[in-house]
Amino acid sequence: MSSKIVVGLDGSGSGDRAVEYAKTLARQIGSCELILVYIIEWSPFSFQTAEENAERHKRREEEIEAALNRIVNPTIEALKSDGLEVTGIVKHGDVADLLDRTAVETSASQIVVARASDAGFAKRLFGTSTANLVMHASVPVTVVG
């Protein structure tokens, strides 16, 4: 049985390093599938205007398409051309929660993520997605700097 690694993508430089690291790991393991996950931060408890609500479905489709075309699919292509087994997912929701859930659902053995790419007051107060993931993850997590 091949092992699986969930890789968090964020479209940033450190996200790319996470992919690089996961690639190295996968090669070392041999038979290993990479599951690329791109999360669009979204909460069902945010506040929107009626007009935003009416256009929400359209926007959601656009967001998913943009994430697939710009980030997920190019990375999949690149990894496939390197001979790796890769799949990709785009989801809306909480980053830490969804990375962990994907790992559990796909029975992945570990998660590779980038360190938080942005700092700020809010992040200090509530913690970054990476920090939240590390604290609550169900499988081992590697944070790539």
Partner 1 sequence: MNKIFFMALTGLFASTFSASAQEAGGIDQAVNEMFAAVTGPFVSLIFAPFPGTSFPWIVMWLVVAASLFTVYFGFIQFRAFRHSIQLVKGDYSDPNDAGEVSHFQALATALSGTVGLGNIAGVAVAVGIGGPGATFWMILAGLLGMASKFTECTLGVKYRNEYPDGTVSGGPMYYISKGFAEKGVPGGKFLAVLFSIFCILGALGGGNMFQANQAHAQIAGIVGDYPGWITGLIFAAVVFAVIVGGIKSIAKVTEKVVPFMGVLYVLAALVIILMNFNQIGWAFGQIFAGAFTGLGVAGGMVGALIQGFKRAAFSNEAGVGSAAIAHSAVRTKEPITEGFVSLLEPFIDTVVICTMTALVITISGQLMVDPATGNYILDGDTIQTVGGTSGVALTSAAFATAFNWFPYVLAIAVVLFAFSTMISWSYYGLKAWTYLFGEGKTKELVFKIIFCIFVVIGAAASLGPVIDFSDAAIFAMAVVNITALYFLMPVVKRELASYMSRLQSGEIKRFKH
Residue 45 DSSP code: T
Min dist. Cβ of residue 32 to partner 1 (A): 26
State which residue, 29 or 42, has the beta carbon closest to partner 1: 42
Considering only residues 60 through 89, tell me which ones interact with partner 1, judged by CB under 8 A. Answer: 60-61, 63-64
Burial (CB count within 10 angstroms: exposed 0-12, middle 13-18, buried 19+), residue 106: middle
Min dist. Cβ of residue 62 to partner 1 (A): 9
Q: Confirm or reject binding of residue 46 to partner 1 (CB under 8 A).
A: yes
Give the DSSP per-residue string, 85-127.
EEEEEEEEE-HHHHHHHHHHHTT-SEEEEEPPS---HHHHHH-
State which residue, 65 or 82, has the beta carbon closest to partner 1: 65
Q: Which residues bind partner 1 (CB under 8 A)?
A: 40, 42, 44-58, 60-61, 63-64, 91-93
